[in-house]
Amino acid sequence: MQADLLTEVKAKAKVWMDGNFDEETKIQVKNLLENDENELIESFYRDLEFGTGGLRGIMGAGTNRMNIYTVGMATQGLCNYVLKNFPGEKDLKAAIAYDSRNNGKLFAETIAQIFSANGIKVYLFDSLRPTPELSFAVRHFGCKTGVVVTASHNPKEYNGYKAYWDDGGQVIAPHDKNIISEVQKITSVDKVKWKGNSDDITIIGEEFDLLYLDKLKGLSLSPEAIANNENMGIVFTPIHGTGVTLVPQILKEIGFKNIISVPEQNVVSGDFPTVKSPNPEESAALNMAIEKAKETGAELVMATDPDADRVGCAIKNEKGEYELLNGNQTGAFLVYYLITKWKENGLLKGNEYVVKTIVTTEIIADMAKDYGIEYFDVLTGFKFIADIIKKNEGKKRFIGGGEESYGYLAGEFVRDKDAVMACMLIAEAAAWARNQGKSIFDVLAEMYTKYGFYKEALVNLVKKGKSGAEEIQQMMADFRSNPPVEIAGSKIVTIKDYQAQIEKDVVTGTEKVIDLPASNVLQFFTEEGSKISVRPSGTEPKIKFYIGAKAKLCCPEEYRKIEAELTEKIKAICSDLGV
């Protein structure tokens, strides 16, 4: 089998040696052929898959790598779909942005050339920008599509390509599958229109940032609290990414005056020199910012990922020590603030709603029910939140929402998670709490006392390469064919299989249809209220286990006691799952 695969891979590599590829690429392929069979296989054993969100992969030469050729072929397929989907329209437009990753500008300019070569006008940012600003640009300029070159929070070896549709959200059905079909038809680099028309490429810069920032300022709900706490210390780090300019700028523009930077991490670099991974979900990524907070006594620490669509936070706890919040805690705190202030400000008229993903904390649903606000559960992926906003546009008003993976949104002018916006609102919420003589930690404790203490954990099992992908598939198959009967001493009462779109009551054996698109996700619910969700990542070589437990919190003083009990419960669940 390995010999057959190697023969196939060498044949694909030879095409790159003999075809219309640049000399540097050919040298890289030649080196793989002569010196590294394992890397040769990884680089050519398949074509880099254009999934429902676009491309993401390790940079390098080969069909399974991110390079100008795989990017170019994907773009030609996207262009073909746009042209097919809007026949006869003369003013087709696209917006393109890129973050701080290596080769980002090269890939973005390549994409712009191909769009313009296909008669599609391009709005290209003059330098790196946050992903949410690309979403805003698609809507502002009336574009039919958009692309941002980013691998989000992946390690430095990666880059990626996210495709957007005319609503400013990432592509969903039927466009996602239809674009994939068009991309698959581009079987050779010779099918790509590489030579663009510079007259059809418009460069956009700081003047557009001001439009975006003005929209953000319109979301502010507590100007008096900010004015009363303008010197509140806020440490912010962009972790070498696109948040470096706009996050401090929006914080200053709404009135904060004590924004503390981490100079070493303000350096824009795709090598992310101060961190192992530029992922605010990982505690190590915030270490330098927390040290800066200890030096300065700051109230709040915030860190954004390279494309500034996710934000991680640290706050002072009841002992005055800095404590990291997970994505569920930040999201719950933010929604709690938004709902509370919408009510205080007389903005609740009866047609408002919030949205969360199925793997996100259930406390958001509890809060919405308490305030009589409609809420929606959607599949994992912010594109599904964007779709709910699109469907309700002009009929209902979106307050906010998000997902456990550190992505949040308020308002309707951006249709993807927005860490610039989230940083602004989290800082404002901290000032709002402080204005009442409270900390964010105090508000969290009050929230858990009112709705129940929800504690969640995420376990990632990384399975790299071809063998890893096969192992992940087998794990999901095993969970389906032989689901657990009991976890951590509590019986499974409900199983939801989102791929089969079936919810099964284990006790009665009855089943009902799940009214969401099919997705490779399994959920197990225990009789005492724990929720375990299992799904392969759509963008990384890992399988994810989302584990949640809940208990009653009688008063804030019991916070640590109940937290410890829930921590033990989660450990027991992990042990039973073997993760």
Count of CB atoms situated within 10 Å of the CB of 187:
9
How far is CA 67 from each of CA 13, 28, 150, rounded to the nearest angstrom?
A: 14, 12, 13
Average pLDDT of the segment spanning 232-240: 98
Tokens for 234?
A: 């806020």
CB 526 within 8 A of CB 490: yes
pLDDT at res. 467: 84
pLDDT at res. 539: 66
**Percentage of the chain modeled with pLDDT above 90:** 92
pLDDT at res. 463: 87
Among 22-26, 48-52, 436-440, name the one with the lowest average pLDDT: 48-52
Q: For the segment 179-200, what is each residue's pLDDT rounded down to a tens digit?
A: 999 999 999 999 999 999 999 9
Q: For the segment 281-294, what is each residue's pLDDT rounded down to a tens digit?
A: 999 999 999 999 99
pLDDT at res. 537: 84
Please give the Cα distance from 187 to 240 (Å, whole number). 36
Among 47-56, 64-73, 94-103, 350-359, name the one with the lowest average pLDDT: 47-56
Please give the Cα distance from 501 to 231 (Å, whole number). 51
Higher pLDDT, 375 or 578: 375
DSSP assigned state of 263: G
CA 441 to chain centre: 25
Preceding amide of 174 cis, omega within 30:
yes
* Intervals of CATH 3.40.120.10 along the chain: 47-210, 225-436
Best CA proximity match to 384, nearest among 351, 420, 358: 358
CB 151 within 8 A of CB 100: no
Rounded to 5°, the CA angle 370-376-381 comes to 135
Phi-psi region of 111 (alpha: psi -120 to 50; beta: other; left: phi over 0): alpha
User: Any bridge partners for residue 307, and if so which?
Assistant: none
How far is CA 176 from each of CA 53, 81, 169, 370, 552, rounded to the nearest angstrom?
A: 7, 10, 12, 36, 43
Helices and strands (H and E) in the chain: how many: 18, 23
CB 403 within 8 A of CB 417: yes
pLDDT at res. 502: 96
Please give the Cα distance from 527 to 299 (Å, whole number). 39
Pick the CATH number of 454-577 from 3.40.1560, 3.30.310, 3.40.50, 2.20.28: 3.30.310
CB 289 within 8 A of CB 265: yes
Q: Is the pLDDT of residue 1 over 70?
A: no
* Intervals of CATH 3.30.310 along the chain: 454-577
Tokens for 239?
A: 């972790």
Q: For the segment 550-567, what is each residue's pLDDT rounded down to a tens digit?
A: 999 999 999 999 999 999
Q: Is the pLDDT of residue 345 over 80?
A: yes
Please give the Cα distance from 550 to 454 (Å, whole number). 5
User: Which residues 6+ apart lie within 8 Å of 574 measured at CB?
Assistant: 457, 459, 545, 547
Q: Which helix (H) or strand (E) holds 539?
A: none
Thinking of the domain 47-210, which architecture would CATH place it in? 3-Layer(aba) Sandwich (3.40)
Q: Is the pLDDT of residue 3 over 80?
A: no
CB 108 within 8 A of CB 97: yes
Alpha-carbon Rg for the chain in angstroms = 24
Average pLDDT of the segment spanning 88-103: 96
φ, ψ of residue 470 to 5 degrees: the values are -65, -40
Q: In which residue are the tokens 């002018």 written?
A: 413
pLDDT, averaged across the chain: 95
CB 53 within 8 A of CB 173: no
Q: For the segment 121-157, what is each residue's pLDDT rounded down to a tens digit?
A: 999 999 999 999 999 999 999 999 999 999 988 899 9
Given the residues 100, 152, 405, 519, select the one marked as catalytic: 152
Residue 152 annotated as catalytic: yes
CB 306 within 8 A of CB 240: yes
Domain 225-436 class, CATH top level: alpha beta
CB 533 within 8 A of CB 358: yes
Q: For the segment 441-498, what is each residue's pLDDT rounded down to a tens digit?
A: 999 999 999 999 999 999 999 888 888 888 999 999 999 999 999 999 999 999 999 9
User: Any bridge partners for residue 352, and if so which?
Assistant: 397
Average pLDDT of the segment spanning 521-541: 88
Please give the Cα distance from 566 to 574 (Å, whole number). 12
**Terminal CA-to-CA distance of the chain, rounded, Å?**
31
Instruction: Give the residue ranges of DSSP H helices in 345-381.
Output: 363-370
